[in-house]
Amino acid sequence: MSTPQTIAVIDIGKTNAKVALVDLATLDEVALRRKANAPLRQAPYPHHDVEALWTFILNSLAELNRERRIDAISITTHGATGALVDAAGELVLPVLDYEYDGPERLATEYDAVRAPFAETGTPRLPAGLNLGAQFFWQQQRFPAEFAKASAMLMYPQYWALRLSGIAANEVTSLGCHTDLWNPWKADFSSMVDRLDWRRLMAPVRLAKDRLGPILPALAARTGLDPRTPVLCGLHDSNASLLPHLLADAPPFSVVSTGTWVVSMAVGGKKIELDPARDTLVNVNALGDPVPSARFMGGREFSLLTDGKPQVWNDSDIAAVLTRRALLLPSTQQGSGPFPHRTAQWVDADALSPGQRFAVISFYLALMTATCLELIGGDGPTTVEGPFAQNQPFILMLAAATGRPVIASETSTGTSIGAALLAEADGEAIGKGAQREAPINSAFGDYAKAWRTASNHANDPDSNVSQQTSA
């Protein structure tokens, strides 16, 4: 085939699944299909509905290929997810939902075998957020089924296997708080050998590797050229980071927003990461360690706004800044920089809907600023994904960090980054409007007030006036 121009990107997020067409010449999304992605709450445990996703993927590829010929397929997915398959490539157990707390029932046993943070850069996380804990629980709980497994696959590569028939693994997903990877040695962790799992690990390939052409039966079903290559694929936050690795000079930071808000610092200040505050070491698509931090900001935003469109104006912003109505961490416990704090509204009675939205946006921005501080973020910060369209968020993030913030113009940086895997050299993506820290000192004063209150939140001796809801 000739040099690929139109890339179909399969993007499986925790909340939504998408298939986007990306034009490599312009780095624009030219078409998109979307589907809600919800786990099945049924035996043997909550798990991903991979067959519904598979039907959606194939139907979307067929529809999009009729609009514009697809030259290659790339894949990106959320992290903390993997698949156990047999020699025929079939699942031996359903793909577990990482929010299921079953693995915690073996926490003591798992903690005895996992590698330390210094080796893996992986903090100990709740539920199934450590993928190694999922595999450990499945092995102990379902030994007969686990014994049938011939390969452990990261989630992007599970879909690559179904499309190409080739089993592989890749470092961005292996290095995403799994306990499975040593980013300093670029090899599997000591735990993998301790549990005799290395024999199950599919070969590690580069994210940009062409695993093979799409399977003939799938080419016939979708109408794609039988020679259409399937790329190995990568973790979604690292897909957002990739265009900047290819085009930007360090230091810089990237904030990937979706269900999770993941902050990544490239060439930042040297700082010791604190695993108790959900900092970690990711591995980028070039194989290098990247200090990172995260919180469940997209989930928080959806819960706080009830998933409804929000209307606000400048008067709402001014009123909140003057009044200093605050939302303190955290509305989702168990992860993020304040994992054990309970959310508190402060001086927030009788807020108008627009004012409430401003407070929520400021809260999310200040949580993000905290994450960037914890990982030594420096230089300009680019915000990818839905929060890039939230102006109060962007303005407060610039004020809180004191550095330029760039709101990405692309609707989803993950699709662009995943598409760039099809092009060896990569190109710079179009930048959004750069926002310097606001001249209005009220933004900075608000950020200081939030930080002070957050440091004393849940402290019985604090004099902070509190409300439990707004």
User: Which tens digit of pLDDT belongs to each residue from 249-299?
Assistant: 999 999 999 889 999 999 999 999 999 999 999 999 999 999 999 999 999
Grade residue 242 by pLDDT with cuts at 50, 70 and 90: very high
* Angle (deg, nearest 10), helices 314-323 and 353-374: 70
Task: Tell me if 454 sits within 8 A of 338, measured CB to CB.
Answer: yes
Report the DSSP beta bridge partners of residue 14.
Answer: none
Tokens of 136: 């450990």
Choose among 67, 66, 84, 83: nearest CA to 75: 83
Task: Tell me if 233 sits within 8 A of 156, measured CB to CB.
Answer: yes
For position 462, what pLDDT does the model report?
43
Out of 35-39, 71-75, 454-458, which region has the weakest mean confidence (pLDDT)?
Answer: 454-458
**Mean pLDDT in the chain?**
92
pTM of the full structure: 0.86
Count other C-beta atoms under 10 Å from residue 2's C-beta: 5
Q: What count of Cα atoms within 13 Å lies in the side-chain half-sphere of residue 334?
A: 12
- Asked if residue 210 has pLDDT above 90, the reply is yes
**In 328-460, alpha helices (H):** 353-374, 391-401, 413-420, 441-456
Choose among 160, 73, 159, 178: nearest CA to 415: 73
Out of 20-24, 71-75, 194-198, 431-435, which region has the weakest mean confidence (pLDDT)?
Answer: 431-435
Task: Tell me if 263 sits within 8 A of 241, measured CB to CB.
Answer: no
Grade residue 409 by pLDDT with cuts at 50, 70 and 90: confident
Tokens of 272: 């010791």
Radius of gyration of the chain (CA): 22
Phi, psi of 184 (to 5 degrees): -80, -30
- Asked if residue 442 has pLDDT above 90, the reply is yes
Choose among 285, 280, 261, 263: nearest CA to 172: 285
Quote the CA–CA distance of 77 and 155 in Å, as a whole number.
7
Quote the CA–CA distance of 394 and 382 in Å, as a whole number.
10
**3-state DSSP assignment of residue 448:** helix
Quote the CA–CA distance of 378 and 380 in Å, as a whole number.
7
Report the DSSP beta bridge partners of residue 295.
Answer: 261
- Asked if residue 40 has pLDDT above 50, the reply is yes
**3-state DSSP assignment of residue 34:** strand
* pLDDT tens per residue across span 341-398: 999 999 999 999 999 999 999 999 999 999 999 999 999 999 988 999 999 999 999 9
Tokens of 416: 């662009």
Q: Which domains does the chain have, with CATH numbers?
A: 6-232 (3.30.420.40), 237-456 (3.30.420.40)
pLDDT above 70 covers a percentage of the chain that reads: 93
Grade residue 437 by pLDDT with cuts at 50, 70 and 90: low
